[in-house]
């Protein structure tokens, strides 16, 4: 027997499933069952190839529970059927047909979460806070039909006295404006942003024919067995870096491309061809990259983008701006504002140690530079709706409003007018952004607003994640000591970490290794050498010998240890030579110097 609270729980659960798993809301509800003891069951048709894993389902429940906590109004509208279909497509329908003679639909609407046709006599609480939470009981997945059955228990909120309303009556009395087609758009495709030229919806979690689930956002990187980068290119709508593009680049710069480009570590781009077109015509671009200062000690993964940016600055001989998002880390982490600011200064020393040209490089903290950035930030903020931001970044109603406003801060440096002094007042200088692929959502948003601001879209070149010592599954974390090698580690620590913690793709025994060889794809010593051993011939030799069993894991580890000790020592020396005066000068708002 359906109860108002149970019906609400089902509606919120449906919205959360759509949001997290990313299937269209329309026509996907197959069945609903209410049982004793506040138990409800929802069966939906998904586009998943396999059963969603636990962490994804926990995310669904978390998103649903955030909606209850957010105390959103549950609204009802009577909408003429043709008008509804025109504005919302099939979004409000369940699997079963609404009989043709029904010409006016009664729809339930929870902002940003669900739009659903309901029976006129159905009863619902008028606010999501009537339920305090749902708890996951069990799930079943039918692979052949892609059907997911989710059973949850809902807990009514005894503290809230939320009136229960009848759908038709509430709709008749409702004087509020109907939700716009734009507001509904993210629901139609699951998550997503409408009107982005080069990006299909940006799923915070997605699944496709590969049957692999992965979550890649600026804050979470998670996947079952290694990130599927081809899938990311497809999901994000970026371009793979082709051999032609590499050859073209080499011709223009008159030297070989960086080994990381040739090895597919920098693997994806947006509009790099355009950037090269302009460069050939003598129109210079500037480079923009950044760092979120959340820890004192950087690990090797943090250095990569800067090492690469340094190469770009050298070969294209162009100005560079580096953003320290102390504001971002304050909003996301449990850190004091002063601490984030200080960490930015500390990290700047590591960045300077990469060897950037002081005349061509401006490093800034958001906190310090905000007055210069703010006009551009405002221009961007005005052009991105809450719904769009939520679609791109997966914000929920319980995220603080600082987070929701932040993306414009990271977007603004993509436009040269945010650097009136450093970039000599050039209003529309093209911009190239080297970054890890997880930062792409910011720049999809940026590229969407650029034409409306009558400015060039920034171009991008994306790199893969640097794998953790324990294996490919996630990027390294600054907080998990033994997953990473730090720029501050001693020779001894490096040796110990690699020998003890680096995941090996070699075989269990010497005999087996000699016979079968190592699996290079999962072998961390080899994968790390792909990043840090610049000698192509030696890398090739190791690949051949190690995969055929001629080399053993211990030997490859030894080679890696040597490479890393040298790299880290070199970094430590360079960093020690960075003075406070140099930091000040890099961060001074001043005109950069470069040759056109």
19 touches ligand TRP by CB under 6 A: no
**Residues touching ligand TRP: how many (CB under 6 A)?**
13
> Hey, what are 356's tokens?
């950037």
433 touches ligand TRP by CB under 6 A: yes
Supply the minimum distance, in Å, between the C-beta of residue 502 and ligand TRP.
25
Supply the minimum distance, in Å, between the C-beta of residue 441 and ligand TRP.
10
Bridge pairing between strands 147-156 and 131-142: antiparallel
> Hey, what are 256's tokens?
């070989």
Q: Please give, one letter per residue, the 3-state secondary structure of 371-422.
A: HHHHHHHHHHHCCCCHHHHHHHHCCCCCCCHHHHHCHHHHHHHHCHHHHCCC
Q: Which is nearer to ligand TRP, 328 or 489 (CB)?
A: 328
Supply the minimum distance, in Å, between the C-beta of residue 41 and ligand TRP.
40
Answer for the pair 23, 166: CB distance below 8 angstroms, yes or no. Answer: no
295 touches ligand TRP by CB under 6 A: no
Supply the minimum distance, in Å, between the C-beta of residue 443 and ligand TRP.
8
Binding span for ligand TRP by CB under 6 A among 6-14, 134-142, 269-277, 283-291: 283-291
Interface residue with ligand TRP, options 29, 439, 472, 504 (CB under 6 A): 439
What Cα–Cα distance (Å) separates residue 355 from each residue in 264, 347, 358, 487?
24, 14, 9, 15
Binding span for ligand TRP by CB under 6 A among 96-104, 282-290, 444-452, 473-481: 282-290
291 touches ligand TRP by CB under 6 A: yes
Interface residue with ligand TRP, options 323, 388, 504, 527 (CB under 6 A): 323
Interface residue with ligand TRP, options 128, 289, 361, 483 (CB under 6 A): 289
What Cα–Cα distance (Å) separates residue 540 from each residue in 155, 259, 263, 370, 452?
60, 13, 11, 48, 48
Nearest one of 245, 258, 244 to 313, comparing CA atoms: 258
Interface residue with ligand TRP, options 259, 292, 407, 517 (CB under 6 A): 292
217 touches ligand TRP by CB under 6 A: no
Answer for the pair 323, 413: CB distance below 8 angstroms, yes or no. Answer: yes
Q: Which is nearer to ligand TRP, 185 or 261 (CB)?
A: 261
Q: 66-93: buried (b, 16+ CB within 10 Å) or exposed (e) per residue?
A: bbbbbebebbbbbbeeeebeebbbebbb
328 touches ligand TRP by CB under 6 A: yes
380 touches ligand TRP by CB under 6 A: no
In whole angstroms, give the CA distance from residue 173 to residue 154. Answer: 28
Supply the minimum distance, in Å, between the C-beta of residue 299 and ligand TRP.
13
Which residues are within 8 A (CB) of 203 and not within 5 positions of it... i.e. 6 or more apart? 22, 190, 191, 192, 235
> Hey, what are 92's tokens?
């409000």
410 touches ligand TRP by CB under 6 A: yes
Binding span for ligand TRP by CB under 6 A among 125-133, 192-200, 321-329, 479-487: 321-329
Supply the minimum distance, in Å, between the C-beta of residue 411 and ligand TRP.
9
Enumerate binding residues for ligand TRP (CB under 6 A): 218, 288-292, 323, 325, 328, 410, 433, 435, 439
């Amino acid at each position: 027997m359906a109860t108002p609270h149970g019906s609400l729980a089902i509606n919120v659960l449906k919205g959360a499933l759509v949001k997290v798993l990313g299937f269209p809301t329309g026509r996907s509800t197959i069945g609903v069952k209410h049982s004793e003891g506040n138990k409800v069951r929802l069966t939906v048709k998904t586009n998943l190839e396999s059963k969603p894993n636990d962490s994804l389902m926990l995310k669904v429940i978390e998103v649903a529970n955030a909606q209850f906590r957010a105390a959103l109004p549950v609204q009802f509208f009577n909408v003429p059927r043709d008008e509804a279909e025109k504005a919302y497509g099939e979004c409000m329908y369940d699997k079963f047909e609404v009989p043709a003679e029904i010409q006016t639909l009664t729809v339930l609407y929870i902002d940003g979460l669900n739009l659903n046709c309901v029976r006129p006599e159905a009863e619902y609480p008028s606010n999501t806070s009537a339920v305090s939470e749902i708890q996951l009981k069990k799930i079943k997945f039918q692979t052949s039909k892609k059907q997911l059955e989710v059973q949850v228990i809902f807990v009514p909120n005894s503290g809230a006295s939320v009136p229960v309303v009848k759908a038709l009556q509430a709709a008749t009395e409702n004087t509020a404006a109907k939700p716009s087609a734009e507001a509904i758009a993210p629901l139609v495709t699951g998550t997503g942003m409408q009107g982005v030229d080069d990006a299909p919806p940006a799923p915070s979690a997605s699944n496709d024919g590969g049957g692999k689930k992965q979550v890649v956002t600026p804050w979470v990187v998670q996947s079952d067995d290694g990130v599927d980068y081809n899938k990311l290119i497809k999901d994000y709508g970026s371009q793979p870096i082709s051999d032609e593009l590499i050859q073209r680049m080499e011709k223009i710069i008159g030297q070989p491309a960086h080994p990381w480009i040739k090895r597919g570590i920098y693997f994806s781009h947006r509009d790099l061809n355009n950037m090269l077109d302009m460069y050939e015509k003598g129109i210079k671009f500037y480079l923009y990259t950044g760092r979120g200062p959340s820890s004192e000690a950087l690990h090797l993964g943090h250095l990569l983008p800067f090492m690469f940016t340094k190469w770009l600055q050298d070969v294209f001989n162009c100005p560079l701006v580096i953003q320290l998002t102390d504001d971002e880390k304050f909003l996301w982490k449990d850190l004091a504002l002063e601490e984030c600011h200080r960490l930015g200064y500390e990290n700047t020393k590591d960045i300077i140690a990469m060897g950037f040209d002081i005349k061509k490089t401006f490093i800034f903290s958001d906190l310090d530079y905000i007055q210069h950035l703010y006009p551009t930030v405002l221009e961007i903020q005005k052009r991105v709706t809450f719904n769009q931001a939520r679609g791109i970044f997966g914000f929920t109603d319980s995220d603080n409003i600082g987070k929701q406003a932040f993306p414009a801060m990271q977007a603004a440096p993509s436009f040269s007018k945010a650097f009136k002094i450093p970039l000599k007042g050039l209003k529309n200088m093209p911009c190239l952004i080297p970054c890890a692929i997880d930062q792409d959502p910011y720049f999809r948003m940026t590229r969407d607003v650029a034409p409306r601001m009558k400015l060039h879209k920034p171009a991008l070149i994306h790199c893969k994640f640097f794998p953790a010592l324990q294996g490919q599954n996630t990027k390294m974390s600054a907080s998990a000591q033994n997953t990473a090698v730090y720029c501050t580690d001693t020779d001894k620590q490096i040796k110990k970490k690699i020998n003890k913690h680096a995941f090996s793709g070699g075989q269990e025994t010497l005999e087996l290794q000699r016979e079968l060889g190592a699996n290079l794809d999962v072998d961390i010593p080899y994968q790390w050498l792909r990043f840090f051993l610049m000698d192509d011939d030696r890398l090739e030799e190791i690949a051949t010998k190690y995969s055929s069993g001629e080399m053993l894991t211990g030997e490859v580890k030894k080679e890696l240890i040597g490479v890393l000790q040298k790299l880290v020592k070199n970094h430590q020396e360079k960093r020690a030579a960075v003075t406070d005066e140099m930091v000040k000068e890099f961060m001074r708002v001043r005109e950069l110097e470069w040759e056109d």
